[in-house]
């Protein structure tokens, strides 16, 4: 029941919302890479602190998450 309603809400997301979600995933991946510096000897993301990447990821994820979990007022006049 819950998965079906979430799937229906995800289908209603706009192209901009999907792009924001993708960008947020990329930014969270950068946070993980910064957190695990064992992968590379040279940190490609060294120009910004890990907190800036995390804040950017959260900002880009707010709108898609809000649209998925907001209450629909359909049927209420």
Q: How many CB atoms lie within 10 A of CB 39?
A: 11
DSSP-derived secondary structure for 9-46: HHHT--HHHHHHHHHHHHHHHHHHHHH-TTS-SS-TTT
* Tens digit of each residue's pLDDT, the chain (77 residues): 777 877 888 888 888 888 888 999 988 888 887 777 655 555 555 666 777 878 888 999 998 888 888 866 554 44
Burial of 75 (0-12, 13-18, 19+ CB in 10 A): exposed
What is the predicted pLDDT for the residue at 76?
45
Encoded tokens for 27: 């930014």
With H, G, I as helix, E, B as strand and everything else as coil, classify residue 7: helix
pLDDT score of 66: 87
């Amino acid at each position: 029941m819950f998965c079906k309603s979430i799937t229906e809400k995800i289908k209603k997301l706009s192209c901009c919302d999907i792009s924001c979600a993708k960008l947020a995933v990329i930014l969270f991946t950068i946070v993980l890479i910064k957190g695990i510096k064992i992968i590379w000897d040279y940190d490609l993301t060294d120009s910004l602190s890990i907190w800036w990447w995390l804040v950017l990821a959260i900002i880009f994820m707010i709108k898609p998450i809000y649209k998925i979990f907001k209450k629909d007022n359909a049927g209420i006049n």
